[in-house]
Each structure stands twice: as C-alpha cells, then as structure tokens.
Structure 1
C-alpha cells in the first residue's frame, strides 16, 4: 500500500494499519454524526418545549374564558378537556383524524348547547340529537367559527407535528449513514494517507490538507451523493419553521382556541330562536316548545357582557416565537452543507496546518501536494452510484412515512387540509386530480419496500407534489 522504498512496516503490518486507519476514520465520522444528531435533538427539545407550553397555556385558560357560559361549561369540562387531549395526541404522532375529531367536538358541543336551551319539561332522544347534529353544515349554528378555527388549528398542528418528526427523522438519517463501513479501496487509501509516513520514519509529519481532502472526498463520495436530498429536507424544514410566524402565527392560533369556542357558543345563543325554529322544521317539534327557557335567558345575560371579548396575543409571546423561529432557521442552515463539508471537517483533525503545506506527507514523501486527482480512490467512487443508498436505507422501519412527512412540509401551508396525517399544498404547487404515485405499498414490510424507498428519495424534488398520497396511506 505504501510507496516502494525503505520501510519499517511488513505487509502484515500494513494490512493491520489499514484496518486501524479505517476504524479511526469511521470513529471520526460517527463522532461528527453524533454531534449533528445532538444538534437535531436539541432543536427538537427546544421546539417541543415551546409548543407544549403554548398548548398547556391555552388549555389552562379554558376556565377563565368559558366560565361565563355557566353550567354549559361547568357541566361539560370533560368535553373541552378531551379536545385538548386529542390535539396533544395528534401532535405526538397519533393516527387519529384531526378533521373528524374537531367535527365531532362541535357536534357534541351543539348537542349540549341545544339541550341546555330546551324547555325543562321536554325530553330529547338520541335520534333527535343526531338529527340536530346533521344540521350543522346547512344551518351553521356556530357561524363561520368552527370552519375557520378548524382550518387554522389543523394547519398549525399538522405543521408542528411534521416539523418535530422531521427533526427526529433527520437525526436518524445521520445516525444510519454515519455507521456505514468504508470500502476496501478507501481503507487502502486511508492507510497510505495516515500510516505510510510512519513506515517511512516520518511519524511526526501529518498529511497535506489537499491530499487528505482528496482522499476523504473519494471515501465519502456516497455520503456526498446524499447532499441533494439532504438539502431538500433542510430547506423544507427551514420553510416550515418560517411558517410558524406567518399570520395567524402559531402562538395566536393555539392561545385563541378557548376564545373561539366562547364566540361560537355566544353566536348560537344569540341566534338560538332562529336555529331552533329551523331544527323543528327539519327534525320535528319535540313536544310543546313553550315560549323560551329560563336557562337560555340566564346564559344570555351572563354572556352579554363578553359579546366583544377578543383574544389579544401577548407581545412577549410574539417576540419569543420570533426568536424561536430565528434560532431554528439559523441552526438548520448550519446543517445544510453537512455531507459535502464532512471531508473538510475530518481533515481538520488529521491533516497538517496551513503553515506546513510545503512540508507535509503527500502520499509519496515529505513535500507539498499538487495533484488534483487521487486515482486510488477514483475507482471506488466509480463502483458505487446512487443505488448504494438503496442499501443504506434498508432497515429504516419508520423512514418511509416520517421522511416524507418531514419533506412534504412545503405543502403544509394551504387551506386545503384534513389533519389526517396528510400534507397540504402551497397555493397550487401540489397537483390535483392526478394518478396516485406511491413511494411504497402500504402492505410491504421494511425490507420488501426498500427499493421503492430508494427510488422515492432520489426523485424527491419530482415526487413532492404527490407525497400527500403516501401519507394518507
């Protein structure tokens, strides 16, 4: 492996040193990977803490905002608590359909509000309540508030969930790729780079930085080949992070949930007579409706003082969100060039400093390194193509769903949403009414679907408009 000439190393020693050089280099790669993983995990903890605090603060404000509704709130606290539980579970990765859960919440709230307004001497059956619930879409008893709130809440939670999962998946990708063993040709090149000067009696002479960079770029060519996909992922994450401060911002949406519920109930109470009359026309009159309910009038009186009650977000909260977004985006940008900069990072620990470039190991002797090509590693690069990553990605049991969940976040910003774990589209960028193009079959196991994963990853820019279909599976 070393240049011909006087040497203190036998062939066996060279082989052992080749193994050692590969182990040391793989150790440096894993160390760099662990550092990047730690950065992703730190970002995840930071955002997760912030989002969880927003969610908790919104839930804690329920009693303050809704207590004016009287028994309608005090007797149905479980209904409101379950709404926040569903939101929390969805954010944590639950497979529940957020659109359906929110629709169910408004149906149950309509039932409770309608029941509270009914005369005390009238008993309403489950079938009658079911008929009342079916009138929501046409009669819109809560006005436009449920639809508006649903759109904004689902957008915020889908985006936040995608973002935190994207951070975790990114850390997993780094871990997996950093554990890939170096090929035999690379091992020989590393032996020549690191230990051949020892065999020539030049143990104190470090490799020339250009020579080291040349070898490392060859050894890590396949990792560098991940760069286009990696940059697509990071750019997407940055875009999603920026969307959190887009009006209505994340903190405003979460903190205004109790107020929106209050406004919806107040709207129905103010228009209960009209709504009831229309319900009676469709569902029938349940006994004698009377001239009104004392409970309803009492609730109206209590809630009248809050007719113009509006949510005013804290300026401090807005500033904190701005700082959070700025910090996330800044740190993500630092990670964008990781795979192409990895050779330079490794050589900063192995190679000679800038002041020693005329007296460094150039692969043959102690001198400067002038060559622009390293043929020993060139063959290694040619042997492996992008198909190599099809093998690397084998074993990613959660990769198929979560990688796409994070990378389609550019399509998470429109109003066309369901919250069923699916993505959304940026004002027409996502195609509609096109044939389904799946990155993997729903029934395949991780190994059986690996080839499809490979295909999807390296055609990611083309597949982004279709990945909503993947996530719905």
Structure 2
C-alpha cells in the first residue's frame, strides 16, 4: 500500500513535496502552524486493524493509488473527474503525468497530472465545495427557524384579527348606535398593534392613548350625552384633546398601556430574534476564506487528484486541523449563538403568564367594555366637566349610521382559532425551543460535524494526510 507501512514522514513519501511543499496546518495562536503528518508503521498498522478491515484498506489503497508507489501511467481518471465536476475545459490537461514545476501548492517530486491552471480551478472548486457543505449542514437549522418564524407571524396575524373581531362585535352587540364609528377606531388600533409586533417603530403608549382619545368623542356623543344629531368635528376634536384631563375611562387606558407594553414587546422581540437567527446562518453560510485557508483546502481536497488519487478522502485529524483553521472566527460566533438561544428561551418564558399576548389581546374587548360602563355610570359628572372645558355640545345635522360590521366575515378563517390558541401557542413555543436547544453547540462543533459527516475518511480506512495516503494519521 502506498505510504501506509513505510513509516516515512510526509516529505519522504512518493507524494512528498520538496522545497515549497505545503504541509497540513492547524490554527495556533491566530496563525497557521505546520503539523507533522506521518503514516503508521506497517506492523503496528497491521496489528491494530482486524483482518477484514485491513483487507478493505489494501483494496482501497490499490484503487486510489494506482498501485504501489509508482505514479499513475495515465491521467485519464483525473481528466474524467475534472470533466464530471465541470471544473473547466479539458484542453491543457495532461494525457499522462508530467513534471509539475509550476505548481504552487500541489507540489510533488513525482510526475503529476496537474498544471498551474488546473490548480487554480481546483482551488476555486475546493472553496465552493466547503461553501456547499456549510450550507447543507445548516439547512435543517435554517429551516427550523424560518418555518417557525413564518408560523408564529401567521398565528400573530390571526390572533390580532380575532381580537379585533371580538372588540368590534362588542360594539355591534351592546352599543349598536355608535358601532360604525367605534369600529373604525378599533380597526385603527389593531392595525397599530400589528405594525408594532411586526417591527414598525411606534410606541404602545401612543397608540393605546390614541385609541381612547378618539373613542371618547364617540362615547360622549352616544352614551354620555346622546342627541338626535352628532356633535360637530370641532367639538369632537375638543373632546379628544380633553380626554386625558377629564379621564372618562378612569385608569383603564393606563392599565391597557401596561398590558400592551408587557405583552407585545416580547412577541415583537421574539419575531425579530428569529429573523436575526436566519441572517446569522445566511452570513456564516457564505464565509470569506483567507489565502492560507484556501491553499489548505486545495491541498486537502484536490491535491490528491494530481497524483491520480481521485477517490481519496482526508484523514479525520488532518481534516479537523484544516477546517478548524478555516472556521477560526466561528469561535466568536459560537459564544454569541449560545447566548442567542438562551435569550430566545427567556423570551419564550416572558411570553407566557398573565401578560402573554394571547391573553391580553383576546381580553381587550372586556377592558373596553369596562371603560364604556364606567363612562356611562359617570355620565352626568362627565357632562359637567366637558361643559367646563369645551362648552355645551355643538351638533351637526347628519346622523351616525348603525352597525355595518360583518361579524361573520372572518368566521371561516377564525373558527379554528379560539381561546385554546393560548395553549396552542405556548406548546408550539416550547416545542420550537426544545428543538432549537439541540443546536446550541452548532457553531462550536461545526468542524467536527463537517469532517465527521461529509469530508473525512471513515475510521480505519486509508486516508490522505496532505502528502500521501496513509492508514493512520
């Protein structure tokens, strides 16, 4: 077998490089340091392997090395793989091995099937291969996050529609004479809720106050001081401005501000965090490789081809050294990634309990009803306060229309989405977080994953050590 039982160092084997040869390297203290790459002694290697594994090793050595230490007599196999991989035109690829004096990385004392142009093509292919393997390894994680981001967003949208439906139905059923005007305010309010949850830079306090400010003129016109005709726009504006001072709804607006702030912010942050996770994966899927890394990848992946070893795979230890060096910056990503998953767990916990979004939104109509009841009970006192601030009501000849809200409009889409959604959302979050926890060490163990599952030779099989085919690294 080629190089397996010789006991020679990497520079002494048939594939060993002379001056300028590129040894396997690993990342040490921020730099690339040369690693020794030796094949195990023949007797030791033979005794450490079972007879079946050893026979398989001999067969693979013969298949990959072209037989013994002699270089391949033809480059036909190399040409076929080059063509199959679509690495470039076959023109210029040697028919038979030649001296590789112009090679920069895949240097060898023996004749080679590579040219400098092929070496450049191989280097591009090596980087593309790693990018592809990176993307494949993260595909499941990326799908987990993106699928849940879409599912949670869809659920939140449905939840907002249902809460709006509940609140509009309240006006149509209990306050029909002002339902048309009130429903417009309700729609505006829940539009703001959606904008906030999905990332728009608006304040929960601002849109809650706006809702009660604009609701007060409607309530005054139809509940506190009803008349045959509606109040004028100017008078309505005065009432809107006076709502905070008159406080017709007591402390309910303040209570709503607290509930909305505590319940909506975790959900908003949760969605933003999921999208951030997808961005992180997209970024790490498209790494920029340094010159040293690119050369190391070339030597690991394609330099064996130059010696006719088109079926070889790198040794596990050698592969880990190269990939860890190329992914050295992932160490920092790993720390932040672990913190990211922990933050998502904490966010998920914050989305449950008294102030969870489902509970707050689906009970908002009840809060509004309490506000309306309070205003009606304190009607005479409120009328006096209004007269002091805005004067007696000024009315216009038109009259408000009745309820125009179609309570059955969304029933088809919402009938499956009831108050049980609280339990459904909570369990969905828990399930998602439990799956995500499995990827806590994803970036820290990425090199091991890539080499173990994709790149390196299986344990016990002959492998490429950067210079030669060996039985152990």
Scaled to the shorter chain, the TM-score interval is 0.5 to 0.7
The 3 A distance-change label for structure 1 pair 122 and 315 is closer
SS in structure 1 of the partner of residue 348 of structure 2: helix
Counterpart position of 2:440: 336
- 1:74 is displaced (CA, Å) by 4.0
Instruction: Measure the CA separation in 2 of the matches of 1:75 and 1:20.
Output: 66
Write the deviation string for residues 2-36 of structure 1: whole angstroms up to 9, x where unpaired.
47443534452444323322221122223345544
1:40-79 alignment, distance < 5 Å: 40-66=145-171, 67-79=173-185
**Are the counterparts in 2 of residues 122 and 286 from structure 1 also a CA contact under 8 Å?**
no
Write the deviation string for residues 188-222 of structure 1: whole angstroms up to 9, x where unpaired.
11122223334445443321222211110101112
Instruction: Measure the CA separation in 1 of the matches of 2:230 and 2:429.
Output: 53
SS in structure 2 of the partner of residue 101 of structure 1: helix
Counterpart position of 1:393: none
Counterpart position of 1:104: 210
1:286-435 alignment, distance < 5 Å: 316-347=420-451, 348-356=453-461, 359-367=462-470
How high is the TM-score relative to the length of structure 2? Answer: 0.65
The 3 A distance-change label for structure 1 pair 120 and 139 is closer
Check if 1:189 corresponds to 2:299: no
- 1:269 is displaced (CA, Å) by 0.8
**Are the counterparts in 2 of residues 3 and 364 from structure 1 also a CA contact under 8 Å?**
no
In structure 2, stretches of 5+ residues that fail to align are 1-104, 395-416
Check if 1:93 corresponds to 2:199: yes
Counterpart position of 2:132: 27
145, 152, 157: which one pairs with 2:252?
Answer: 145
1:77-226 alignment, distance < 5 Å: 77-116=183-222, 117-118=224-225, 120=227, 128-226=235-333
Greater CA drift, 196-205 or 183-192:
196-205
Instruction: Measure the CA separation in 2 of the matches of 1:281 and 1:53.
Output: 44
**Are the counterparts in 2 of residues 43 and 328 from structure 1 also a CA contact under 8 Å?**
yes
Instruction: Measure the CA separation in 1 of the matches of 2:199 and 2:455.
Output: 42
- 1:351 is displaced (CA, Å) by 0.7
333, 344, 348: which one pairs with 1:237?
Answer: 344
SS in structure 1 of the partner of residue 420 of structure 2: helix
Counterpart position of 1:39: 144
The 3 A distance-change label for structure 1 pair 169 and 256 is same
- 1:186 is displaced (CA, Å) by 0.9
**Are the counterparts in 2 of residues 245 and 325 from structure 1 also a CA contact under 8 Å?**
no
RMSD, matched Cα:
3.0
**Are the counterparts in 1 of residues 181 and 218 from structure 2 also a CA contact under 8 Å?**
no
Counterpart position of 1:392: none
**Are the counterparts in 2 of residues 145 and 264 from structure 1 also a CA contact under 8 Å?**
yes
Which of the pair has the greater relative contact order for Cα pairs under 8 Å at 6+ separation?
Answer: 2
Instruction: Measure the CA separation in 2 of the matches of 1:105 and 1:185.
Output: 61
Instruction: Measure the CA separation in 2 of the matches of 1:54 and 1:7.
Output: 71
**Are the counterparts in 2 of residues 18 and 191 from structure 1 also a CA contact under 8 Å?**
yes
The 3 A distance-change label for structure 1 pair 337 and 131 is same
**Are the counterparts in 2 of residues 360 and 367 from structure 1 also a CA contact under 8 Å?**
yes
- 1:109 is displaced (CA, Å) by 0.8
**Are the counterparts in 1 of residues 220 and 226 from structure 2 also a CA contact under 8 Å?**
no
The 3 A distance-change label for structure 1 pair 123 and 32 is closer
The 3 A distance-change label for structure 1 pair 90 and 18 is same
Instruction: Measure the CA separation in 2 of the matches of 1:32 and 1:268.
Output: 61
Instruction: Measure the CA separation in 2 of the matches of 1:73 and 1:122.
Output: 15
Instruction: Measure the CA separation in 1 of the matches of 2:108 and 2:260.
Output: 70
1:447-466 alignment, distance < 5 Å: none
**Are the counterparts in 1 of residues 362 and 419 from structure 2 also a CA contact under 8 Å?**
no
**Are the counterparts in 2 of residues 92 and 161 from structure 1 also a CA contact under 8 Å?**
yes
The 3 A distance-change label for structure 1 pair 350 and 121 is closer
- 1:128 is displaced (CA, Å) by 4.6
The 3 A distance-change label for structure 1 pair 266 and 355 is farther
- 1:286 is displaced (CA, Å) by 5.0
- 1:323 is displaced (CA, Å) by 1.1
How many residue pairs get matched?
345
**Are the counterparts in 1 of residues 146 and 278 from structure 2 also a CA contact under 8 Å?**
yes
- 1:54 is displaced (CA, Å) by 1.2
